[in-house]
Amino acid sequence: MIFQANLNEAFRSLASAKQRTALALIGIVIGIGSVIAMVSIGSMAQQEALRQFKELGTDVLTLEKDFLPDDDARAASTARGLNLNIVMGLPTAVPAVADVSPYTQGGGGDVFHMGKSLTQASLMGVTASFFAMNKLMIAEGRALSDLDSNSKFVVVGAQLASQITEHSGLPPTGQQIRMGDHVFTVAGTLAKASQAALRRFDPNTAIMVHITSALRLPGSEISLVNARVSGGISNDKAAADIQVHLSRQAGFPGVRISSPEELIKQMESQMRMYTLLLGAIGSISLVVGGVGVMNVMLVSVSERRREIGIRRALGARQSDIKGQFLIESVILALLGGLLGVVLGELAAWLVCRFANWQFDVSFAAIVLGVGVSTAIGVFFGIYPASQAARLDPIVALRAS
The yes or no reply on residue 394 touching another protein (CB under 8 A) is yes
Minimum CB–partner distance for residue 317 and another protein (Å): 4
Which of 168, 243, 295, 318 contacts another protein by CB under 8 A? 318
> Which residue's CB is nearer to another protein, number 5 or number 364?
5
The yes or no reply on residue 306 touching another protein (CB under 8 A) is yes
The yes or no reply on residue 320 touching another protein (CB under 8 A) is yes
Which of 319, 346, 358, 371 contacts another protein by CB under 8 A? 319
Q: Give CA–CA dist 267/260, Å, rounded.
A: 10
The yes or no reply on residue 1 touching another protein (CB under 8 A) is yes
Which of 317, 350, 361, 364 contacts another protein by CB under 8 A? 317
The answer to whether 372 touches 28, Cβ cutoff 8 Å, is no
> Which residue's CB is nearer to another protein, number 48 or number 307?
307
The yes or no reply on residue 18 touching another protein (CB under 8 A) is no
φ, ψ for residue 137 (rounded to 5)?
-100, 145
Q: Can you list the alpha helix ranges (DSSP code H) found in the chain?
A: 2-16, 18-56, 71-79, 84-88, 90-93, 130-133, 158-168, 211-214, 235-247, 260-303, 305-313, 318-355, 363-390, 393-398
Q: If DSSP states are collapsed to H, E and C, what string results for 218-249?
A: CCCCEEEEEEEECCCCCHHHHHHHHHHHHHCC
The yes or no reply on residue 312 touching another protein (CB under 8 A) is yes
> Which residue's CB is nearer to another protein, number 187 or number 389?
389
Which of 50, 138, 215, 397 contacts another protein by CB under 8 A? 397
Stretch that binds another protein, among 81-89, 129-137, 360-368, 392-400 (CB under 8 A): 392-400
The answer to whether 230 touches 95, Cβ cutoff 8 Å, is yes
Look at residues 33, 39, 38 and name the one whose alpha carbon lies nearest to residue 285.
Answer: 33
Q: Give CA–CA dist 349/62, Å, rounded.
A: 33
Q: Which of residues 253-292 bind another protein (CB under 8 A)?
A: none
> Which residue's CB is nearer to another protein, number 11 or number 359?
11
Residue type, 129: S
Which of 41, 316, 339, 352 contacts another protein by CB under 8 A? 316
Q: Give CA–CA dist 326/320, Å, rounded.
A: 10
Stretch that binds another protein, among 9-17, 44-52, 332-340, 349-357 (CB under 8 A): 9-17
> Which residue's CB is nearer to another protein, number 148 or number 307?
307
Minimum CB–partner distance for residue 393 and another protein (Å): 5
Minimum CB–partner distance for residue 332 and another protein (Å): 17
Evaluate the CA torsion angle 372, 374, 375, 379 in order and state its sign: positive
Which of 50, 224, 310, 375 contacts another protein by CB under 8 A? 310
Which of 5, 75, 183, 350 contacts another protein by CB under 8 A? 5
Minimum CB–partner distance for residue 384 and another protein (Å): 19
The answer to whether 261 touches 235, Cβ cutoff 8 Å, is yes
Q: Give CA–CA dist 276/313, Å, rounded.
A: 51
The answer to whether 302 touches 385, Cβ cutoff 8 Å, is no
Stretch that binds another protein, among 75-83, 256-264, 310-318, 335-343 (CB under 8 A): 310-318
The three-state secondary structure class of 193 is coil
Stretch that binds another protein, among 39-47, 121-129, 302-310, 326-334 (CB under 8 A): 302-310
Q: Give CA–CA dist 373/366, Å, rounded.
A: 11
Residues making contact with another protein (CB under 8 A): 1-2, 5, 12-13, 16, 306-307, 309-320, 393-394, 397
